[in-house]
Structure 1
Amino acid sequence: MDIGSQNAPSRLESAVAEALNGLALPGLLAGCRRIRDGDAQFLLPAESASIAKREHKARAASGAGRRVAHELLQRLGYTDLTVTRGRMGDPVWPPDIVGSIAHDDELAVAVVARTDAMRSVGVDIEPALPLPPDLLPIVITPQDRLGDLDPLLAGRVLFAAKEAIYKASFPLDGRVLGFEEIAVDLETGEAATPSGRRFMVGFTVTPKILALAYTA
C-alpha cells in the first residue's frame, strides 16, 4: 500500500489494501496507492514511451499503478521492474511473472505472482456505486448468476468481475471479449470464457468494489 511513499497512507488506501489482501491467494502480492498529480514521475523510460499518447490524468494513474507494481516486483526479488503497455493496453510483465493493474479515479491497485503460483490473474477496482442504467443490459446476461447481492451494486460488481476475468484471460488467449461472452456465477465464484477456460473470482464491495480473477 503506497510502499516507500513519504506520505502516510490515507484511511481509504489502508482500507482498500486490507480488502485487496483479503482476496489475495498464497503466492499473490497485492497493493494500492492513491493517485497523486505527479505520479507520472514513477513511469520508467520504456513505460513512459509506451503510453506517450495518453493524457496527463491517465499518465498519473498509470504511474501510480506501476509504482505499486514496481514495489511488488522488488519484493519478489526482481531487478527489471519495467512493465510497459502492450498493443491492446495490457501490461507486459517480466518473464515468469503474471500480474494485473487497475485504477478508478482515486486509487490504483496492482497484483503480481510468479507463474509457478498461478497461470494468470486479473484485478479491477470500481467505485461502490450503482452501474449506470444504460450499461446494465450490456453487462448482465441470462447466463450470469448474481446470488443475493444488493441489487443496487450487483451490476457494478459483475462489471468489475468481468473486467478482472478479461484481464486474466487475454494473456492466455489473446482474444478481446465482450461482456456477453463471459459467464459469471458470483454465488460459486466461478466464471467461464468462450475458449473453455475456467476462472475463480472473488470480490468485495467496501470501501471500493474490488474483483480478483485467476486460474491456477
Structure 2
Amino acid sequence: MTQPSRLKRIEAALAAMFPADVALALCSLAAADARDLWPAERPAIAGAVPLRLAEFAAGRQAARAALAALGQEPVALPMGPDRAPLWPPGIAGSISHTAGLAAAVARRGAPLGLDIEDDAPLPSDLWPVIAGEDERAALPRGETGRGIRQIFAAKEALFKAQAQGHRAMFGFDAVAVALANGGFSATFRISAGAFRSGQIIHGRMALSEGLILAGVAR
C-alpha cells in the first residue's frame, strides 16, 4: 500500500519539476474504485484485468483532482484513438502510473508530458531498443541499466507532450536524450508531428521514493 507520507513526498518532487501554472494530483491504486468511472470512460477498460482497472481508475481520479485545482468542473476523460485521455477544450494534461500510484498534471495552455517509472535497471537486451550508441556511451559506467530507464522515462514524457488530437507516432530512435542533473535535453533526429528535425526540447527529472519522475512542459 502506498503511504500518504510517501505520496506527499512524491507530490512535492513533481511540483518542483513543473511551472506554477501546472496543477498536479496523485492517487494510490488502493484508493481508486473502478465503480467511480464515468460511463464514457468504461469502454476503454472493458474486459481489463484488476490491475489495469485500478491503474485506469486511479489515473482518472488523479486527473479530475488536477482539473479541480484549476477550477474546472469534473468531466469524463474518455480514451482517444491514440489511447491518450481526452482532456476538456483548452486543457493540456498527462497521466502516468506505476508502483501502486497514479499521477496527473494539467494546465490551461501548451502540452504537458509526465512519465513515472520504477528506479530500477532495464535488462540489457532492451538497451539498444531504447537508446542509441551515442546515448548509451554518455551514461556513467556501471549505471547503464538505470540510465537507460531514465532515458526511457524522458522519451515517454516527451511523446506525451504533444497537442491533443495531433499526436504523431515516433519510435525511440527518433530522438536522442542527454541526461543532466535535474533534467534532460532531447534532440530530434527526424521531424515528427509538430517536432522538427534538430529541435531540442528540455525536460525535468527527479528521483524520489524509488521512482523516476520525468516531465516536459512546452
Report the TM-score, using the length of structure 2 for normalisation.
Answer: 0.84
Tell me if 1:49 matches 2:43. Answer: yes
**Equivalent residues of 1:123, 1:212 under 8 A apart:** yes
Structure 1 residue 9: Cα displacement: 5.0
Q: Select which of 177, 180, 198 maps to 1:184.
A: 177
Tell me if 1:97 matches 2:88. Answer: no
Tell me if 1:138 matches 2:133. Answer: no
**Equivalent residues of 2:121, 2:146 under 8 A apart:** yes
**Equivalent residues of 1:13, 1:32 under 8 A apart:** yes
Superposed CA offset, 1:42-93 (max 9, x none): 3211112333243221111011011111011112121142211111211110
Which residues of structure 2 form unaligned runs of 5+?
A: none
**Equivalent residues of 2:132, 2:173 under 8 A apart:** yes
Runs of 4+ residues deviating >4 angstroms:
145-150
* Alignment correspondent of 1:3: none
Structure 1 residue 37: Cα displacement: 7.3
Length, aligned pairs only: 206
RMSD: 2.5
Report the TM-score, using the length of structure 1 for normalisation.
Answer: 0.85
Distance in 2 (alpha carbons) for counterparts of 1:53 and 1:200: 38
- Change in Cα spacing, 1:112 to 1:143, as seen in structure 2 (3 Å) is farther
**Equivalent residues of 1:157, 1:205 under 8 A apart:** no
Distance in 1 (alpha carbons) for counterparts of 2:158 and 2:164: 11
The residue identity in structure 2 corresponding to 1:155 is I
The DSSP-based 3-state class of the residue aligned with 1:48 is: helix
Range moving further from structure 2, 174-183 or 140-149: 140-149
Range moving further from structure 2, 190-199 or 58-67: 190-199
Q: Select which of 200, 203, 209 maps to 2:212.
A: 209
Which residues of structure 1 form unaligned runs of 5+?
A: 1-6
Distance in 2 (alpha carbons) for counterparts of 1:169 and 1:143: 25
Tell me if 1:199 matches 2:201. Answer: yes
* Identity across the alignment (%): 31
